[in-house]
A and B are shown apart, each in its own frame.
Chain A
């Protein structure tokens, strides 16, 4: 399932994904997207962050977990506000539109299995947002990331693939996935003030 307001881009993605992925539907704005997703209940929705009618986050808000689909956010912009917003809205990952075909196929597979997909940029954002501050965490379990999670995020930001991270840290790929999923959960659930303030302060990155 593909949601993007640029027809040309949708065509391009379809061509690049090829046979590995079956595309069950397409939509170009929020209303259409909500209707088609409800209709076809796809495994994974590739969701453009900027859509006429409120953006990808509006699609997530309206469906509000009412469908079994998982969402992978896709954007041409790298603005922190967009990224953090859509991930906190419920997307399982975030990639930029410059991603190559095979990488995108891989990311879709990962999201379909319930794992999280972090681009280097998103990892950088999270490191920044969870950077040590003087402010005491309201909920330490949700408001802080562990040293290990920090290590994993650093390697993602450095451009390492999950497999390479596993090798570097002497852990299994499964463990890397667990760390990333845990960070994603914290990112979605934490009420940390810094998250919203931080994203608002960096609207133009």
Chain B
């Protein structure tokens, strides 16, 4: 549906104008469709099928004002909309249908009835293409047009054959006893059509295939997610609620870890590690080592390079510091990839400290975080004060 009429009540139809936007020829069909509250497809089909429709179309074209012109006449400030470019493919398809129908009925039947048989594919094919084109989105259309651009020689050849075949048949002024040459002409036409159409059919088939694969994969993922949810995440919740009982916690954690590892690593491994995955893994390690929950939020992702790996190491150091010294109940880690710029924030609501009071021999902050970032062309800032918690901010550009 084009959704242009859905919001207007039946009592108040939009005025009859020629649409300025989304039109194929002069906007008559779309304007009428908006006015009558029906899908533009039906109006177009009606114009094409009813031969007097063409005359009516031109009458409308002359008599009905264009949408924008009308607005301008009322002295309203009209924002200049970006007009969607005319859809030549669709226009062509409608034209093919109209021409096919016209030829089919205009030619006297007795003379060329075998030839008229050959026109049916045009009519049906044109209608089919019009429908498909109507329903496809932009990306799909571009994919469909691609074979035509890539194999223009082949398409041209096919077109020449079709036109030549038709021309030949007409020139010979076929009669009943000349059925043989008609058949030859038909063969040529069909070959031409096949040449044009094959890449499209292949493309359509591939589309279908890809869709089927995607469905199967998403089903698999849903299954896995359900499994992980039922076993792993619930165990983790249980562990947090049993925090007062170390023995029970350890038992739960160890058994779940075994199950999870079997599940995860026996199925697949992920060789090309990405930035977000590295951050998550690192924080997981720190969490395991120091027993402070770390909440990680990653926005965007990118491939891991040397600089980013250094930033992840610096972030790890910041997390370890927070886990060891801050005495905070949890640590927040936020990593964002925005184009080439990468930012990591490690924050806790713990004790905080006086930055100037750190002795020079405490390598943690100076060497492992600030120094490491600067050596790799990045920047680290630490914001902290006693009792206010600490936030380490790491910024770096991707190589």
Contacts and interface: CB of A to CB of B under 8 A. Distances in A.
A200 to B, nearest CB: 7
B332 interface: yes
Contacts of B224: 204
Contact of A76 (B221, B225, B237, B299): B237
A9 B234 CA distance: 10
A123 B241 CA distance: 26
A157 B345 CA distance: 9
B329 to A, nearest CB: 8
A203 B293 contact: no
A121 B293 CA distance: 14
Given A204-B224, A204-B225, A128 B299 contact: yes
Interface in A141-172: 154, 157-160
Given A12-B241, A158-B334, A159-B334, A77 B297 contact: no
A121 B218 contact: no
Q: Classify chain A: how many residues form its interface, as a range.
A: 20 to 34
B336 A154 contact: yes
Contact of B218 (A127, A128, A160, A203): A203
A159 B240 contact: no
A198 to B, nearest CB: 12
A46 B242 CA distance: 22
B230 to A, nearest CB: 9
Contact of A98 (B237, B297, B338): B237
Contacts of A79: 225
Interface string B278-303: 00000000000000010101111000
30 contacts: A9-B237, A50-B229, A76-B229, A76-B233, A76-B236, A76-B237, A77-B233, A79-B225, A98-B240, A100-B329, A120-B334, A124-B297, A124-B334, A127-B299, A127-B336, A131-B338, A157-B334, A157-B336, A158-B334, A158-B345, A159-B295, A159-B332, A159-B334, A159-B345, A159-B349, A160-B347, A200-B218, A203-B225, A204-B224, A204-B225
Given A77-B233, A98-B237, 19 more contacts: A6-B234, A77-B229, A97-B237, A100-B329, A120-B334, A121-B297, A123-B297, A124-B299, A124-B334, A131-B299, A157-B336, A158-B332, A158-B391, A159-B332, A159-B345, A160-B347, A203-B218, A204-B224, A204-B225
